[in-house]
């Protein structure tokens, strides 16, 4: 009896049109976004395909980077310098990082939802763990904060700076806890107080050899990728050739698995037609957005002062004729009272202006 049921079920299965199932699954997959993952990045390195990474810190920059099909978006603690005006990355807090991570995640989602591409590319989202959130002997602090970056910030992975044994232990603990980690060696901006400023690293044979050991240490700890910042190109290539995981260079030559630049630097966000802004020596400027911003703001100011803006074209909201007549009647009804209030306000403002024009000692300036 049991055998007959099994035979009957197997017969029904054998007669089922599996080609329709395969066709259906194929159509479903075609609607799924192409997501960049830690595994796909490793595959890119093996295939010799360069990896692109750009920083983003807010909703609009995230939309622009996603539209460009960049592989990785790094919500970097460089936000402290290019967005918040600090001299270093050290003042950035975890709450501030999460705030910017959330904006970037929303920007990527919105850009993908509005895309005309049938399969929009979803970049891997990596958030910098800011200074003071993972360096403790208690490794659970690093794991707890990494969880916040993923759960609250919407990140796919986090980035930790440094290649010491203790840093490798922290990375292993975070990875074992279920959070993907990108490493970062060479110039590590969070350690600026220790390394004596924003200085290139690995320029001696001994230090360059140490960097290979650091990179291997991070790979063994479970990092899926390592950023190499401000190191000689031959050193970066040696590290890249040694590792199985990808490397992302910034000021590290062309021998790495990929490249990263800061959004504001590469697009010339702070550029100005009449004076030069500081630009890192390793950064290529792909646009002069700051020029266009300055020109746009100047044009707006002139249009406002001349009365050319807004023209009728940019004044779209109108009342119908009946409402206009009713409004004019209301204005006429209390015109005298409004004029009295206007004159009173004018008198008070003139008195305040006269008071402000006097110097501390009573004489006119």
Quick one: tokens of 167? 């840093």
pLDDT tens-place string over residues 182-207: 999 999 989 887 877 677 888 999 99
Distance CA(54)–CA(33), nearest Å, equals 20
Helix (H) or strand (E) holding 365: none
By the 10 Å C-beta count (0-12 exposed, 13-18 middle, 19+ buried), 70 is classed as buried
| Tens of pLDDT, residues 264-309 | 999 999 876 655 666 778 889 899 999 999 999 999 999 999 999 9
The rounded distance, in Å, linking the Cα atoms of 146 and 246 is 21
The Cα 75–Cα 129 span in angstroms is 10
Catalytic sites, residue numbers: 229
* Longest Cα separation, the chain: 114
- The secondary structure element, H or E, covering residue 250 is strand 247-250
Burial 345-364 (b: 16+ CB within 10 A, else e): eeeeeeeeeeeeeeeeeeee
**Predicted TM-score of the model (pTM):** 0.85
Per DSSP, the residues of 285-301 read P---HHHHHHHHHHHHH
The rounded distance, in Å, linking the Cα atoms of 187 and 314 is 50
Strands 258-261 and 51-55: parallel
Please give the Cα distance from 159 to 53 (Å, whole number).
13
Specify whether the CB–CB gap between 227 and 182 falls below 8 A: yes
Low-confidence stretches of the chain (pLDDT < 50) are 1-31
Q: Give the per-residue pLDDT at 33.
A: 61
pLDDT at 20: 41
Q: Map tokens 């700051």 to a residue.
A: 290
pLDDT at residue 359 in the model: 56
Position 8 scores a pLDDT of 46
């Amino acid at each position: 009896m049991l055998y007959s049921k099994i035979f009957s079920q197997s017969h029904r299965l054998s007669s089922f049109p599996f080609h329709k199932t395969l066709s259906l699954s194929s159509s479903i997959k075609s609607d799924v976004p192409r997501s960049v993952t830690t595994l796909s990045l490793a595959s890119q390195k093996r295939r010799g395909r360069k990896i692109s990474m750009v920083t983003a810190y807010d909703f609009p920059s995230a939309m622009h980077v996603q539209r460009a099909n960049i592989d990785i978006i790094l919500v970097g603690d460089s936000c402290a310098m290019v967005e918040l005006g600090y001299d270093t990355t050290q003042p950035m807090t975890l709450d501030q990082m999460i705030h910017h991570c959330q904006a970037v995640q929303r920007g990527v989602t919105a850009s993908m939802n509005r895309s005309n591409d049938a399969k929009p590319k979803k970049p891997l989202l990596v958030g910098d763990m800011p200074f003071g959130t993972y360096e403790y002997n208690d490794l659970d602090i690093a794991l707890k904060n990494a969880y916040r970056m993923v759960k609250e910030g919407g990140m796919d992975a986090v980035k930790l700076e440094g290649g010491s044994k203790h840093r490798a232990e922290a990375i292993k603990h975070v990875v074992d806890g279920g959070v993907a980690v990108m490493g970062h060696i060479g110039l590590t901006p969070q350690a600026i107080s220790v390394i004596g400023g924003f200085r290139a690293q690995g320029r001696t044979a001994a230090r360059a050899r140490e960097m290979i050991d650091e990179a291997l240490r991070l790979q063994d700890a479970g990092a899926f990728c390592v950023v190499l910042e401000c190191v000689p190109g031959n050193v970066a290539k040696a590290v890249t050739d040694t590792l199985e995981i990808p490397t992302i260079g910034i000021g590290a030559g062309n021998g790495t698995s990929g490249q990263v630049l800061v959004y504001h630097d590469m697009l010339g966000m702070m550029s100005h037609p009449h004076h030069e802004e500081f630009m890192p020596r390793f950064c290529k400027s792909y646009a002069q957005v700051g020029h266009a911003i300055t020109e746009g703001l100047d044009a707006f100011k002139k249009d406002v002062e001349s009365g050319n803006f807004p023209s009728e074209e940019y004044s779209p909201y109108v009342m119908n004729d009946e409402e206009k007549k009713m409004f004019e009647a209301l204005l006429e009804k209390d015109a005298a009272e409004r004029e009295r209030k206007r004159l009173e306000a004018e008198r008070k403002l003139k008195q305040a202006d006269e008071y402000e024009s006097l110097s501390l000692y009573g004489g006119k300036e």
